Structure 1
């Protein structure tokens, strides 16, 4: 059985959990507390040298880390990954956007808010840099979603899963979504997809 190394409140881990659940792929979830260094042990680092979750151990023993690489792997050959070459590139475009322009700000601010006792130098730039750039990412999403239901083509894909993971809990980091009606409507569409699960469901 697939083994998923995870941290329950992580949006990156949630992406994988959500996709596997929606594909009805069984998996064993192994909880690791990132605030206690449980992904930095020699045993974990031998398998996953980046020292982060999520990470998966496949049935054949192959190992894979980085959330968007993992969901791209499982989406291959399913409706969650388009067949059309250009649309596949668009999926990758939004996966890269999520990791470069969205997650470092929206997810990181949420992490800092939820872990007030963790010492982190980024706290000094939350209001001056991180939160404004998070809103910039939300603005890009809002502009894109004003004229379409999904991020790529006419159907739900891993591009939506990747961006939903931290956007739907952005308010936990103090982001206000009131000025983003198209994004809020999209969040409801994603939430209504079959076998959707909450981020806190293991």
Structure 2
């Protein structure tokens, strides 16, 4: 990979972290550009015009090309590497878990983390407060499904860490900040330790 990689990010975001973790696991250098979402820095006319018209991060810049959406950026970095299975079904299974992460996991586990650890429950509006219980229940269901899957195997797909593990690790390992008790899920806790022990691992605060 010869193009310079630049990550436009908010460092505490799990979606941004998963791209950094993918790059670190592959030994790829990546330049980081920080935007404070709490100050609206991704909603400025300059950002909207030059980085992402959708006003969101992360965005992976590859040379002069811009790739929004965290899982798409991770896929770009991991394609053709050991993080992707060689067989067609295995790659599709990785994609299945990545889609599930964005549809079932992130909207609940990550949202509660943001509301509770970054905004604070006293700052939530009535609509957000009304969703707290349903988000918590859906997040618990996601963690329970993960725990059942990991009770039978060490990794989500195949016999080693793949991109599916990285994308699910990002918000799972900080789920406690959203009020989830990971001690209830021993298979998930053991898996988190396996991911953290992999060569090249970096923490979200690194």
TM-score range, shorter chain: over 0.9
**Counterpart residue number, 2:176:** 171
User: Aligned residue for 1:55?
Assistant: 59
Q: Please say if residues 8 and 200 of structure 1, whose CA atoms lie closer than 8 Å, have aligned partners that are also in contact.
A: yes
Q: Select 2:102's aligned residue among 91, 99, 122.
A: 99
2:115·2:124 contact (CA, 8 Å) conserved in 1?
no
Residues 103-122 of structure 1: matches in 2 within 5 Å?
Answer: 103-114=106-117, 115-116=119-120, 118-120=123-125, 121-122=127-128
Cα distance in 1, alignment partners of residues 129 and 11 from structure 2: 23
Equivalent residue of 1:29, what SS?
A: strand
Provide TM-score, normalisation by structure 1: 0.95
3-state DSSP of counterpart to 1:64: strand
Equivalent position to 1:141, from 146, 149, 157? 146
Q: How many Å separate the matches in 2 of 1:77 and 1:8?
A: 27
Q: TM-score, normalised by structure 2?
A: 0.93
* Whole-angstrom distance in 2 between the partners of 1:141 and 1:43: 40
| 1:198 equivalenced with 2:203 (yes/no) | yes
Q: Deviations over 1:141-161 (max 9, x none)?
A: 011111100000111011000
1:107-152 CA distance string (max 9 Å, x none): 00000111216545323211x2000000000011011111100000
Asked whether the equivalents of residues 112 and 123 of structure 1 are also in contact (C-alpha less than 8 Å), the reply is: no
Separation in 2, partners of 1:54, 1:79: 23
Give distance in 2, aligned partners of 1:25 and 1:158. 15
> Quick check: 1:2 aligned with 2:5?
yes
| Counterparts of residues 30-49 of structure 1 (less than 5 Å) | 30-46=33-49, 47-49=51-53
- Matched residue SS, 2:182: coil
Alignment counterpart, residue 129 of structure 2, candidates 123, 129, 154: 123
SS in 2 for 1:178: helix
Decide which moves more: 100-109 or 176-185: 176-185
Unaligned runs of 5+ in 1: none
Tell me, in whole angstroms, the C-alpha distance in 1 between the residues paired with 2:129 and 2:34: 26
Q: Distance in 2 between matches of 1:118 and 1:44?
A: 26
Match of 1:11 among 7, 10, 14: 14
- Structure 1 residue 168, shift from structure 2 partner: 0.4
Cα RMSD, aligned residues only: 1.2
